[in-house]
Structures are given as structure tokens and as C-alpha cells.
Structure 1
Amino acid sequence: MKKFKFFGLLACFGLAGCETLWAIVTLPITLPMAMLESVVGESTEEYCVRVSQDWYHAGYLYGADGRETAKDGIDYYTRRCGEYRKVDQAAFERGYRNGYCANNTFYRLGYDGLPMNYRICSNAAGLEAEYQRGRQRVVFEREHEADFYRLKRLRERLKALGDTEQADSKMRPYAIEQREQLRDKINELEQQLGLEITDFGRSSW
């Protein structure tokens, strides 16, 4: 999802995968809606039959996406699947609420600058706090663009060093020392930026 020019900048830096804390904590539940809607070669009827097997799960995924309301989701499935299956609105709404009213969802909404509706959630205060953490993370990343770029360059140097070492065994003594120094710098910078620390195994040479 690309809501900010800065997020696009991170993508250019090679950091758009799991580099941000947001991506790390939300990756298990956040999927593009296009991936949820269909399978290649699947007919509309087959799709609707599959989705109707678990309306709670369909609602949960819709809620975790966070961009539309439960009513939007029900209306969508009613239009698309009404000819084949009836939407279990109660199950869908339960799933939606649990998917939407999650810390990860609100953190991402804040990070992407999307509107929130915490009133439908019982844990409103905590969710507002997560939303604000997401907003603060955006500000932090904007203030540390240079550090993110430096991290990218360090990782590129580490990869290039490994490639060079594989191509020329004579480089091994030099490469061992340089690799350790680069790994220390990368881990230190990752910690400063609040990223998941890379588990670089130390050399056994």
C-alpha cells in the first residue's frame, strides 16, 4: 500500500519489505485485497462458495485491511456473491470487529494516515495510542532518512563483500574482518532505528 511519498522513498531504498516496524508487526495478517478476492482460474461461483465457508474469516480479513467499513464489505459480497450465497452478516461483523480492533491494524492506519473508527472497539484507548504510535513512526522515519539510506548502503557493501569472497578465496582474510565490522555497524544502526535486529551469525574462521 502506498499512501505516502515517503513510503515510496523507502521502497526506492530497498526498505519497503520488512524494514519498518509497521511491516514487521503486521505482515502476518495484512494482505492486499486483490489477493483475498480471487484465485487464478477460479469462477465467481467457486470463489463465493469458498468464501462462504467462513464468513467470520472473510470479515476478519476485511477488518484487518482497515480501509473500509463492515457495511462496505457486506455490500461488496452481497453484490458479488448474492446469486450464489447469502452473506452471514453477524459472522462477518464479528470477524470484522476482531480484525479491525487490533493494535497492528491501528498502528498501520496511523502509519498510513488513514482515518480510524475506534468507537466500534471496546479497547478504544489502547487503539488510539497505537494509532498515534504509527503517526509518530512516520515522523521519525522522515527525520532519519539519511540513516535509512546509510543502512541500505551498509547492507549493499556486506552483500558485495560476500560475492567478492566467493569469487576470490584470497580475499577471505580481508573479508572476515570487514564482514564483522559491517555486521556490527548494521546491527547498531538497526537498533537505533527501531528495526528488527538482523541475526548475523558470527564467523567461525
Structure 2
Amino acid sequence: MDSKNYHEDLSHIRSMMERSSRFISLSGLSGVFAGLAALVGAGYVYFIFQREGIDYFDGSRNFFSPALVRELILTGIVILCAAVLSGYIFTANKSRKKGLKIWDATTKRLLITFSVPLVTGGIFCLALLFHHLFVWIAPATLIFYGIALVNAERYTLTDIKYLGYCQIILGLVSLFFLGWGLLFWTIGFGVLHIVYGLIMHKKYK
């Protein structure tokens, strides 16, 4: 009996330490919704290309007018806002059910660790945009986002690093297929997010 209580105490202490050092309320459903938002956004971008007379899959280099670039940027911002908002809603709901605070010292460390490579990548992509190097933007977003996820693993679910590795690898591969950024972006931010989200939801629900 004493041995059983001892192991239960150790398990309880381990659980408390895990909660204090890692943000464990990250919801898999937020990943699914982010992936769906990315797929919808990619579909809309393809529609824009068709509207502008751009045949994305013919393999030719296409000219993007300033108005088209602005519309693509606006679409990206809308997708990002939808993903962030859904992530917050699902995660806050999961935290409330578990009786955990969504904002504490661990959350701050997580956001800082995640934001540094993400902000760096964002500025890098703005520079690419400024110099009209559009074909490099999709690979850069995948690579920097993957690095951010791998960094964030220290303060949240360890499984997130595998999503990060997949994003980095996909981004590196896309460097050799410039001009197909929308396809790689759809796979990375759409399909991979949905697969990861479903796996995490089933594992940690």
C-alpha cells in the first residue's frame, strides 16, 4: 500500500512539474481549423489567379501586378487572423475545462520563444516582397515557421516539434521548385496542420 501511494505521489509531482513548465492546453482542434482556413485561402488564391488569367499549373513564370500582390497579402493576413483567433478560442476553452490559466509565466516564455524566429521570418519575407522576389516567400514562410515550432517545443507539447520538422523539410524542398509555392504552402499550412491537429486531438482529448 505504501509503495502504491509513493508511486501515486511521484506521478502527481511529475504532473505538477509538467504543468508548471509547459503550456499543455494547446488544442489539436485549433490546428485543424488553421489547416482548413489555409485550404480555403489557397482555394481563393487559385480563384484569383484564374480571374487574372494566370494558369498556375502550366509551369510558366507569371507577372504579378501591384494590385494582385496587395490582394494576395490581404488574403494572407485574413487567413493568419482566422488561424490565430481560432487557436485562442479552442485553447482557452480547453484550459477552462482543465481548470488551468491560459496566461502565465510559461505562456509568456512560449510566445517569446515562438515569436523570435517568426518575426524574423516575417521581416525577411517583407524584404523579399520589397525586392519583388515573390517565388522565395513561400519557402521562407515554411522554413521560419518550422523553426518557430521546433523552438516552441521547449514550453509546450513535445509533439509540436515533429510538425516543425515537416514544415522545415517541406520549405527546403520547395526551394528547388520555385514557382510552385502555392502548392507547397497548401500542403504545409493546410494538410499538415489538419493531420497534426487530428492526431493531437485524439491523443490529448
Q: Same fold (TM over 0.5)?
A: no
Using CA pairs under 8 Å that are at least 6 residues apart, name the structure with larger relative contact order, 1 or 2.
Answer: 2
TM-score w.r.t. structure 1 length? 0.29
Which structure has the greater CA radius of gyration?
1
TM-score (norm 2): 0.29
Q: Which has the higher helix share?
A: 2
